[in-house]
Amino acid sequence: MAIAGAGRMGKALEQAVLLDEELDLAGIWRRGNDINKLLIRSDILIDFSLPEANEVILDAAIKSNTPLVCGVSGFDDQQLDRLVKASNNIPIVFDRNMSLGIAVLERSVREAAASIGPDFEIEISEIHHVNKKDAPSGTALKLGEAISTTIGNKLAKEIKYSSKRYGEVIGDHKVKMQSSTETLIFSHSTTTRQVFVDGAIQASKWIIGKSAGFYCMQDVLFSELK
């Protein structure tokens, strides 16, 4: 296995792979090094680098036919489109949040939205650390998309989003579905970035042997239940 990424996430992924008896670490790629040489001896690549590095990573992964697990955040539309097109050649697991708990939350709110009536109003709130600039968070938008694609124009009103930024909060998300007679609340709180590492490791094991395609954490956790 190869890792693309630096900083805390790169180190956390490195440590997780070294401690996992099922995995072997082939190396860590950083910009300026030859990623092609690294992928020659790797059967999986986990990418937690930066959006601007992804084109180089995709080209190398396609060239070496290496499955890719990508947890990079902040892609623009062009970069995301490039990622989707690359999945025609190799299997790719991409998710804006690799947390296993968020995948369960997404599935839960999707099922709840399909079950409740159109009279419910829906609000998604999120809290992150002061250095997070995008708002609403990608995860909040992901949860909203899961709901809207499930019930579409049956929504009584548009989904409301609220965002707060303070302290060192890694990520708290809450989905509230409320009618005039009852309130349903789903929530998820992240206490350590290790959850993203754990999700990426599980995704890297799942992707082995998969055909080319564009997958997400919903596929990793629930594909066998479909």
DSSP 168: T
Selecting among 128, 142, 173, 174, the annotated active-site residue is: 128
CB-count exposure of residue 13 (10 Å: 0-12, 13-18, 19+): buried
Q: Give how far Cα 18 sits from Cα of 13, 21, 23, 107, 123, Å.
A: 9, 8, 7, 31, 41
Q: Is the peptide bond before 51 cis (omega within 30 degrees of 0)?
A: no
The answer to whether 13 and 49 are in contact (CB under 8 A) is no
Residue from 11, 63, 129, 132 carrying the catalytic annotation: 132
* Closest to 167 (Cα-Cα) out of 201, 140, 129, 133: 129
Q: Clarify whether 157 is annotated catalytic.
A: no
Q: Nearest CA to 30 among 9, 200, 68, 18? A: 9
Strand arrangement of the beta sheet that strand 183-190 belongs to = 160-165, 121-128, 171-178, 183-190
Q: Measure the CA–CA gap between 9 and 41, rounded to whole angstroms.
A: 22
133 assigned to active site? no
CA distance 132 to 140: 13
**In terms of Cα–Cα distance, which of 183, 176, 178 is closest to 161?**
176
Q: Which residues are catalytic?
A: 128, 132
